Amino acid sequence: MVKKESHMMSYGYNPDWSEGSVKPPIFQTSTFVFKNAAEGKRFFEVAYAKSKLKKNEQLGLIYSRLNNPNMQILEERLAVLEGSEDAAAFVSGMSAISTVMLAFLKPGDLLLISNPTYGGTHTFVNNYLKEIGVHVISFDFDHNYDDILNKLKQSGLENKLKMIYVETPANPTNTLIDLKMVNDVKKTISKKIGGEIISVCDNTYLGPIWQNPLEFGIDLTCYSATKFLNGHSDVIAGAVMGSKDVISQVKYLRTFLGGMIAPYTAWLLTRSLETLHVRMNYQAENSIKIVDFLKTHKNVLSIYYPGDENMDQRQNQIYKRQCNHGGAMVAFTVKGNEKGAFKFLDSLKLIKLAVSLGSNESLAQHPYSMTHSDVPEDVKNSIGITEGLIRLSVGIEYADDIINDLKQALDII
């Protein structure tokens, strides 16, 4: 059987559609001509969910907010990579995440969410969803199955549970949430209350190459495609993968919120997916060498990298069960708190000082004062976001060049 990565160059595209062009052109058009009025009527019936597609029938092209060849080719390839029935592409990761939440949560419903999550997700949940009356309960990596069931029971809201949302590994500390446990909680509560619960995993850090949450019973994976999927720091985009049934509900809301990906951005992403496994696997190899180097430097106090022997035993058990690799995000603390961290960051030459991650160039930043500056002090301390913490996104430069840059900056602290 052809492996999923080998499909990325041509899957979902037929050169006959475009004068034999080996790659899909950019379909830079807002609307599509119907062959006749009956065809237009039928396309709308399906698009507005008044009627389901018949066997072997395909939804025709209507208008680029509903569908566009570049978006469809991209979605078919994303589904192949994730091993899912379907995918939906978005204009940003936050558009993907907020559309998923709004598609399945109504005022009065309960959302159970892991902590920490990406800053935008955290703010959307706590400042917007809570305001419109969605109940939110959070848990972190050291809560086990019983702790979570107790929390739900004590809240008196378990019969309102509609969504469990997790992010693993968590940004920026690389802590892992047990996906099997999440599925067990979902099954137990769902049985008890006799209602459907949707589970979602933000898979931006390790997917789709090194972690497949759908295999653990998770219903939807969502991505900031800005990160590894695009991998060139030149696009903002998002994606959601899952079954046809669940994705069709997400796409339905996307049509009205209008967060679909634009043709040119979709085209850029299909181009990036062709090299996804080559980039990610090389970045991962580099990361192992970098972790080994960091262990030898006297100004590095601790290292957080999934699967590393320094992570605690329970974290390592989760790692073995659900991750194929530790990935290309390395977190570590340096001597001298903020002063030491800033001196290190300001001394880097090859590695760029910038937020974002997963790109082909190496990037470093200071979560305490930058990406996570909004997180309350006590929460930062309890989840390991300290003043000396550096988050490094490892690129495809030669490992020796990255290590030499890290070394000269660490020596200066």
Ligand X SMILES: *Cc1c(COP(=O)(O)O)cnc(C)c1O
Residues in contact with ligand X by CB under 6 A are: 92-94, 118, 120-121, 167, 171, 202, 204, 224, 226-227, 236, 238
Task: Given the residues 86, 178, 202, 405, select the one marked as catalytic.
Answer: 202
Choose between 222 and 396: whose C-beta lies nearer to ligand X.
222
Q: How far is the CB of 348 from ligand X (least distance, A)?
A: 21
Among candidates 200, 229, 170, which has minimal Cα distance to 359? 229
Choose between 227 and 251: whose C-beta lies nearer to ligand X.
227
Q: How far is the CB of 225 from ligand X (least distance, A)?
A: 7
Distance CA 363, CA 353 (A): 6
Task: Given the residues 4, 42, 77, 118, select the one marked as catalytic.
Answer: 118
339 included as an active-site residue: no
Q: How far is the CB of 93 from ligand X (least distance, A)?
A: 2
Residue listed under structure tokens 């949560």: 105
Choose between 171 and 265: whose C-beta lies nearer to ligand X.
171
Q: How far is the CB of 69 from ligand X (least distance, A)?
A: 23
Choose between 118 and 282: whose C-beta lies nearer to ligand X.
118
Distance CA 158, CA 132 (A): 19
Quick one: three-class SS letters along the chain?
CCCHHHHCCCCCCCHHHHCCCCCCCCCCCCECCCCCHHHHHHHHHHHCCCCCCCCCCCCCCCECCCCCHHHHHHHHHHHHHHCCCEEEEECCHHHHHHHHHHHHCCCCCEEEEEECCCHHHHHHHHHHHCCCCCEEEEEECCCCHHHHHHHHHHHCCHHHEEEEEEECCCCCCCCCCCHHHHHHHHHHHHHHHCCCCEEEEECCCCCCCCCCHHHHCCCEEEEECCCCCCCCCCCCCEEEEECHHHHHHHHHHHHHHCCECCHHHHHHHHHHHHCHHHHHHHHHHHHHHHHHHHHHCCCEEEEECCCCCCCCHHHHHHHHHHCCCCCCEEEEEECCHHHHHHHHHHHCCCCEECCCCCCCCCEEECCCCCCCCCCCHHHHHHCCCCCCEEEEECCCCCHHHHHHHHHHHHHHC
Structure tokens at 409: 């900056």
Task: Given the residues 11, 23, 65, 289, select the one marked as catalytic.
Answer: 65
227 included as an active-site residue: yes
Q: How far is the CB of 312 from ligand X (least distance, A)?
A: 22
Choose between 68 and 92: whose C-beta lies nearer to ligand X.
92
Choose between 46 and 91: whose C-beta lies nearer to ligand X.
91
Choose between 236 and 345: whose C-beta lies nearer to ligand X.
236
319 included as an active-site residue: no
Q: How far is the CB of 97 from ligand X (least distance, A)?
A: 6
Task: Given the residues 4, 77, 227, 254, select the one marked as catalytic.
Answer: 227
65 included as an active-site residue: yes
> Phi/psi of residue 247, each to 5°?
-65, -35
Residue type, 69: P
Structure tokens at 13: 């595209």
Q: How far is the CB of 366 from ligand X (least distance, A)?
A: 16
Choose between 61 and 111: whose C-beta lies nearer to ligand X.
111
Q: How far is the CB of 203 from ligand X (least distance, A)?
A: 9
| Catalytic residue ranges | 65, 118, 202, 227
